[in-house]
Amino acid sequence: MHLKDKVALVTGAAQGIGKALAQSLLEKGCKVALVDQNAEVGKSCKDAFDRQFDAQMTIFLPCDVTNENNLKDTFKKTVSHFGHLDILVNNAGINNESDWERTIQTNLIALIRGTYIGLEYMKPENGGNGGAIVNIASLAGLLPAPQQPVYSASKHGVVGFTRSLAMASTIGNYGVRINAICPGFVNTPILQSIDKEENLGQFSAYKENIKDMMKFYGILDPNVIAEGLIKILEDDKLNGEIMKISTKQGIHFQEYTLPSGHHTKKLESVL
């Protein structure tokens, strides 16, 4: 996909990884709807972008992605403001083992809902131009995370949903590529949640284990995740791929025994 003049919606765009993703899209000439529940940080993010890019390139839309009406309204506003939608980045996420239902609501249910709403706007059969959806999962979506079992479950869900829906998109000719990114630890405010008992709940006793893991695996800069996003968007061959990003191996892809993008008949022959 050639990114200049494309319209992107990024959730959780006010800070951290989402802000870095929005920055990289703006640098490529995309218009970006910055979507976040934190209106204060969201507005200062928009102000910071306005000092670097034309103010017309971004719009800040306050939205709690777990609120269905709020989310639908946000997509509607994005399309009525910019005219259409080409790219959706489902990035908003939390790390909360205490309020674990909210973790599933935010990281998985809202991501699924956002994807379905996005597809409605992007599918050529509905008058859209096709496009690309990128879901931000985590290496905890591929590996067990003993101190964050529900976070890990939510991200495993994102990986399974992404791979499955990407196949559905191929079979059903949605005209939309769907991929996911699984980063290791990234230097953003979410890492502070590890020190908070209200976030880790019964697992806060093991917070030192997470800190040891951070020391062992290292911490990525958010710009590396942005680099991964641009790679996925610019390569039209990628669909159903799970990109992994770690300090040791950089940007690479998860290899599966069943190559993604295959049809049911081929799957049957392997199962």
- Chain contacts with ligand NAD (rule: CB under 6 A): 11-12, 14-18, 36-38, 41, 63-66, 91-94, 106, 136, 138, 183, 185-186, 188-191
Beta bridge partners of 61: 35
Q: How far is the CB of 7 from ligand NAD (least distance, A)?
A: 19
Q: For ligand NAD, give the closer residue by CB, 14 or 174.
A: 14
* Amino acid of residue 64: D
Q: For ligand NAD, give the closer residue by CB, 123 or 232.
A: 232
Please state whether beta strands 242-246 and 250-253 pair in parallel, antiparallel, or not at all (unpaired): antiparallel
Q: How far is the CB of 176 from ligand NAD (least distance, A)?
A: 20
Q: For ligand NAD, give the closer residue by CB, 16 or 240.
A: 16
Cα(258)–Cα(243) distance, integer angstroms: 16
User: In angstroms, what CA-CA distances link 51 with 8, 34, 57, 72, 108?
Assistant: 20, 15, 11, 29, 34
Residue 252 main-chain phi, psi, to 5 deg: -155, 175
256 is catalytic: no
Six-digit token string for 218: 């290292």
Please state whether beta strands 58-62 and 250-253 pair in parallel, antiparallel, or not at all (unpaired): unpaired
Which candidate, 76, 93, 261, places its Cα nearest to that of 172?
261
Which candidate, 81, 84, 138, 147, places its Cα nearest to that of 111?
138
Q: For ligand NAD, give the closer residue by CB, 128 or 183.
A: 183
The catalytic position among 151, 174, 206, 217 is 151
Q: For ligand NAD, give the closer residue by CB, 123 or 210.
A: 210
Q: How far is the CB of 30 from ligand NAD (least distance, A)?
A: 19
Q: How far is the CB of 178 from ligand NAD (least distance, A)?
A: 16
Which candidate, 138, 226, 153, 214, places its Cα nearest to that of 183?
138
Q: How far is the CB of 98 from ligand NAD (least distance, A)?
A: 15
Residues with catalytic roles: 151
